[in-house]
Amino acid sequence: MKRKQMAAILLVMSMALAAGCGNTAQNEDTQMEQIENIQVVAGQSDEETQAKEDQMDNSRTEGESSETGESNQSEESGNTTPYTWNEITLSIPNDWEGKYHVEEDDQGVSFIQTASDEKEEGMGFLCGIYKETGNMSSLNMAGATILAYTSDTTYYMVEPTDVCYYYDDEEIAAEYQQMYKSIASVGASLKINKEDAKYNPEEFIFPLSSTSRLTNECLINYSDNELRIARNEIYARYGRQFNDVWLQNYFNSCSWYEGTKASDEFDESILNEIEKDNLATIKKAEADYKKEHPYPKLSDKSMEAKEDLDGDGIEDTIGYSFTESDEGCKAVLNINGTDFSLEDYGVYMMTPYTECFAITDIDSYYEGLEIAIMDEGPSYDPVTYFFTYDGELHYIGSVGGFPFMEIDGYNGFAFEGMVKGIKRVDLIHYCYGYSYWRYDYEGKELVDEEQIIYQLVPEAAHELYEDLPVYADMDVNSAKTTIPAQKQVFIQESDGKEWIFVKGKDGSCGYVHIVDYKIADLSKEPTEVFSDVVLAD
């Protein structure tokens, strides 16, 4: 059995288990792009969660030709050696020499640690580089990350998603873990010997949605957030502009996007038949997602909502009102005829969001729903307050921002037991980053989970006045390159401490080191390097 096939089987098993538990797997964000440890850096995975494989019957050779490709281990370049399979070329670390072997088939290559595999056949899977032509089912595979694409083919890496080395031997385990540290660099080295090869798949949900048909099956694990972007990126390829600020800022940051056509002037007849079919398929997937995830529900503030808040099978009637006076704003929830003043729960509204309140379901495993009340704050520092009800009202905490697609452009309830919100991340300028709040049912409170990297809320471009030194990682010892001066760059990530991730409209990108609120490598204030960067008082 091929390594790729085994990965697919593991995915099917995990989906079946998830379905049995009433949970739907998500691919979002990237990236919570790795919800277990809340990492949002695409393409990374924890060394403690590598894939455990079962028995396989392939013959394996190192540095030898095969029917489907050949490797070239004789020519060295720096600390790596080129490996070629058909149109694919990779750079393999020289310190892997003698420690791995390769399996090839008609879809790609798998790299295996020899020591683990010799101890137990099927163990030692490090990664695989595969290609798929004509459809995009690989996008749904566990541990898969698209690295490149052409007009009809995607090239992707599959990484382990569970322990995949012989851990009973400490020396073998240590060797595997050391080799695994180079996986990201192996993927980054991918070169495709085709004229139309592109290496920006992270800027798309579906890179081939203009040339290959999507299926209902390959959309089943995508959240409404991802599906919304996927649907609109079909239009964005043609330069359509968007009235929604969140969408417009999101696509502005994509190197391929040129917003040249106003939304009310865009003619859908320009779309090809594949794109029209894919739009219909995505819209159906969005409708199916909404049926399976009926919450959150926004309720007009002037109208009562009827929902079973405590799971007792009886609908509760919920109303929300507030009054403003010289003494301040007093907000009141009315449930089944009883008034509950929010001030009694330590919630003091500053600038209530006047349009609506919401009913949410943070975790469908547990009975009961929540009531969400929104406040714009004293200087537009938005916050959403959450309450539960079981005959009495309980305040369980707050989340930064308004995590509702209809208001702020994203659904913050796409992960069971979590709410995605925002918090201030002012490293070189006033901005917001996404964070996650976990619902602690025992403590009956929302707990803010600290992030390693904060993805920033899509924002307007900055002009870069001069060439900017950047690093490959958040490490001054990592590879160093330069983003050239240009009219549009985007600040997309931050650790909130000393690093920001900057991406140019030309596709160049990297991490910038900030020390004492200055660009360290230039010894300059951010205002000397970027336009429109202002720290709030």
Which carries the bigger pLDDT value, residue 57 or residue 433?
Answer: 433
Q: Distance between CA atoms of 431 and 457, rounded to whole angstroms?
A: 8
Q: Does the global pTM surpass 0.85?
A: no
- Cβ-contact 27, 79 below 8 angstroms: no
* Per-residue pLDDT at 145: 87
Tell me which residue has tokens 């540095």: 63
Work out whether the CA dihedral 336, 339, 342, 345 comes out positive or negative. negative
Coil, strand or helix at 269: helix
**What's the confidence (pLDDT) of residue 78?**
66
Residue 185 CB: number of other CB atoms within 10 A?
A: 16
Q: Are residues 530 and 468 in contact, defined by beta-carbon separation less than 8 angstroms?
A: no
E strands, 312-417, in order: 316-325, 328-335, 338-341, 356-360, 370-375, 383-389, 393-400
Q: 418 with 410: CB under 8 angstroms?
A: no
What's the angle, vertex CA 401, arms to CA 357 and CA 228, rounded to 5? 85
pLDDT at 329: 85
Our CA angle for 493, 439, 454, nearest 5°, is 5
Where does the pLDDT of residue 285 fall: very low under 50, low under 70, confident under 90, or very high at 90 and above?
very high
Angle 378-381-382 from CA coordinates, rounded to 5°? 105
How far CA 440 is from CA of 40, 404, 444, 467, in Å, comes to: 22, 21, 6, 46
pLDDT at residue 324, as a whole number: 80
Burial class (CB in 10 A: 0-12, 13-18, 19+), 177: middle
Q: Mean per-residue pLDDT for 396-400?
A: 97
**pLDDT of 300:** 86
Q: Where are the alpha helices (DSSP H) in 161-244?
A: 170-180, 183-188, 224-236
In degrees rounded to 5, what are phi and psi of residue 122? 100, -10
CA distances from 132 to 10, 128, 149, 191, 212 (A): 19, 13, 9, 16, 11
Phi and psi at 476, nearest 5°, equal -70, -10
Answer yes or no: CATH 1.20.58 is held by domain 462-529: no
Residue 427 CA to residue 273 CA, distance in Å, equals: 46
Do 371 and 389 form a contact (C-beta atoms < 8 A)?
yes
CB-count exposure of residue 301 (10 Å: 0-12, 13-18, 19+): middle
Beta bridge partners of 374: 384
* pLDDT at res. 101: 97
What pLDDT, on a 0 to 100 scale, did the predictor assign at position 150?
93
The encoded tokens of residue 431 equal 């901005």
Model confidence band, residue 137 (pLDDT cutoffs 50, 70, 90): low
Confidence of residue 322 (pLDDT cuts 50, 70, 90): confident
Under DSSP, the state recorded for 428 is: S
- pLDDT tens digits, 215-230: 998 898 899 999 999 9
Strands 480-483 and 468-471: antiparallel
Q: Give me the DSSP letters along 451-469.
A: PSSEEBPP---EEE-S-EE
Asked if 231 contacts 276 with a C-beta cutoff of 8 angstroms, the reply is no
What's the full length of the chain, in residues? 537
Same-fold call for 212-292 versus 462-529: no
Q: What is the CATH number of domain 212-292?
A: 1.20.58.1690
Mean predicted confidence (pLDDT) in 1-5? 44
Q: How far apart (Å, rounded) are the C-alpha atoms in residues 4 and 9?
A: 9
pLDDT single digits (tens) 404-424: 999 999 999 999 999 999 999
pLDDT at residue 268 in the model: 93
pLDDT at 35: 37
Domain residue extents for the chain: 3-201, 212-292, 297-424, 462-529
Q: Say what the pLDDT of residue 31 is.
A: 40
SS (H, E, C) 220-255: CCCCHHHHHHHHHHHHHCCCECCCCHHHHHHHHCCC
The tokens of 533 are what?
Answer: 């960067």
- Tens of pLDDT, residues 14-71: 333 333 333 333 344 434 443 333 333 333 333 333 333 332 333 333 333 333 333 3
Cβ–Cβ under 8 Å, residues 136 and 208:
yes
* pLDDT in the model for residue 328: 73
How many percent of the chain have pLDDT more than 90?
A: 72
Cα–Cα distance, 138 to 16 (Å, whole number): 18
Q: What is the mean pLDDT of residues 88-93?
A: 96
